[in-house]
Structure 1
């Protein structure tokens, strides 16, 4: 067991008290001032030295037992040298010392053995049995032993409570450090997720309108020598797309908190109208009502259509594209087919298809793309009426 530091001071306080009582008796002439008094002082000096020595090193059971025996011998010597017999109280310290060095069982056993031995020595000897001072010493010794053991139990519990409190404080500090680390990780993850969301939004809104603007400007330049009217219309359409891009930027800065609910039918119709021309014909077929589909899912379908149409217009060489949306329970489906030259879906490295998959995944949907020399088919599906994470 762990020896409390207070035990050293309690023992030394008792040693000094008994020593001062003996010196006081000698000063009043009750006890002689001789070599016995010097030995009495020397015994207590050795006892205090023993206490401080044990408090500064780790005690094994062997050294603890040896120290207990040494104290018993020194207590007996001090009692023999004390003319008033006050040193007998020191024996009450032995169970207390044993409690913290050898364990409670040995301490209680030692206390019981001492009480039995002292009581037997008093009771079996008639002179002592009828001596009030002997009976008083026996009772005081019993009270001292009980009091010492009670202090030992209380001190042990207090020490155990202190160690538990220290352990809990350490665990709390560790948990706080882990919580702070988790908070930092969550903040980093949230920052990365927000950057990815912003990248998707910029690509799917502003990026789309800028691509359309570039297409219309290229068309205007190409048709200027051939058909000025078509060139002027393309220039007008390009200017409108640039204006829409600016509106998207302003809407993003205002966080879109007061925007009206997104209408998929209206948005798809406007998208087809912007891209449809004699060289790139887009057919739209919208089946079913969209009210039972949550806005994040409708947005995901719209951006999927936007990405597919933009890619078909810029890269596939397609002349005809069909957009078919079936907004039915339990799954809403968007199918886009073109007659372009096709591509390898696994070889794309841009943000468009990756952002499309991320948006659909956030609302519990998925996308399937098949492509070949005769065209490309994209099918995007989302569960209708679900309460999943917003894609915006």
Structure 2
């Protein structure tokens, strides 16, 4: 309804206006009773009551129908200026009404400039009416004019100060609202990012475990079916491998949906033993020659899983794409960390044009541990995969 009201929170504005409405109506009633009870009948008395009634009626309309935010507040202030001037001319006891309605210039002025303008008009109207009633006299200058100027000055200072304070409060409220909104958006973004990270982690785990296991089962099943008549013993071995792989996949699936092990927990057995079982299974399933040089070292669960997944992914790529005859695996402890090197003598590929999920998953898994993956290959020259994971000082001491 006003600039002051528009720049403050709705709750503050409603509470302040409701309280001041109560005070104003009480004082209006007291003034009306005083005019009726204390003054003798006459035209000036009735004119004063009419002016007070006009102010009360305008205020009631404004309070009851505040739809128009400009016309009605400024219309009320215009009536108030006229009433103050009229009372100053008729009776000279306008000070009470002036004091009661002083905050209205700031409550209903559309802007601080408009509030100051109406306050100045009220002061000018009362001063002019007093001159018309009393004429120029010492009493007018010492009492009426000085008191009017003091009231206007104090009202202006208090109004400007209140407008500044409320404006700062409104700005703080706006900033707090924006901060809360930003925090809510950040929280929602973090939740979305967390969900996306978890989906990516699950996708990577499924690709590195279940998907690779199913791919191995398919290859073994095709080979076993093709050799049922010619090589029954070989087919029987492949069926046993299918059974073992399926059991491992089942265990992996249960681990994925269960509670993961805590980071830093040492796995049972060394990395070398874990990788050796994987390489033996790979050699048995594919018939390829596997040359392994695996250092016997201990590391935490996260590092062990990363090395195992890199080995499984690399062997799966060899099985599906390389058409190699020999695979070499070297696990070594270096001063700066653990190195895992996997090579093959297959057909090779152009690294820059590779867009597979496996290599990207290996890179991300190693990056989470502060490591890196280097892939070197060219068409016809085989492939070299080098995974490096740095170790902490305590782990380095354990592997030395």
Are positions 1:203 and 2:207 aligned together? yes
Which of residues 192, 212, 219 is equivalent to 1:215? Answer: 219
Shift in Å, 1:363: 1.6
TM-score for both structures, normalised by structure 1:
0.70
2:191 aligned residue (184, 187, 191): 187
How far has the Cα of 1:37 moved from its partner?
A: 3.0
What is the number of equivalent residue pairs in this alignment? Answer: 353
* Matching residue of 2:351: 345
Structure-1 residue corresponding to 2:48:
40
- Aligned equivalent of 2:383, options 376, 381, 389: 376
TM-aligned CA distance change 1:355 to 1:386, over 3 Å? farther
The Cα of 1:246 is off from its aligned counterpart by: 1.8
Listed as ranges, the gaps of 5+ residues in structure 2 are 6-15, 108-114, 395-400
Match of 1:75 in 2: 87
CA distance in 2: counterparts of 1:198 and 1:96, whole angstroms:
66
Rounded Cα–Cα distance in structure 2 between residues aligned with 1:228 and 1:161: 93
Structure-2 change in CA distance of 1:97 and 1:204 (3 Å): closer
Provide the TM-score with structure 2 as the length reference.
Answer: 0.69
Indicate if the aligned counterparts of 1:95 and 1:149 stay in contact, CA closer than 8 A.
Answer: no
Compute the displacement of 1:314 (Å): 2.7
Counterparts in 2 of 1:219 and 1:90: CA distance versus 1, 3 Å:
closer
Deviations 1:212-265 (A, max 9, x none): 333333443444444433333232223222222222222223334388616321
Q: Distance in 1 between matches of 2:141 and 2:232?
A: 137
Alignment of 1:132-151 (within 5 A): none
Which of residues 269, 293, 303 is equivalent to 1:285?
293
How many angstroms apart in 1 are the aligned matches of 2:393 and 2:61? 75
Shift of 1:281: 0.6
Match of 1:271 among 253, 278, 285: 278
Separation of aligned partners in 1, 2:62 and 2:101: 15
Match in the other structure for 2:327: 321
- Report if aligned partners of 1:43, 1:77 keep a CA contact under 8 Å in 2: no
Classify the secondary structure of the residue corresponding to 1:290: coil
Native 8 Å contact 1:99 1:106 kept in 2: no
Aligned partner of 1:235 in structure 2 is 239
The 3 A distance-change label for structure 1 pair 330 and 24 is: same
| Structure 2 CA distance for aligned equivalents of residues 260 and 250 of structure 1 | 20
Return the index of the structure with the highest Cα Rg. Answer: 1
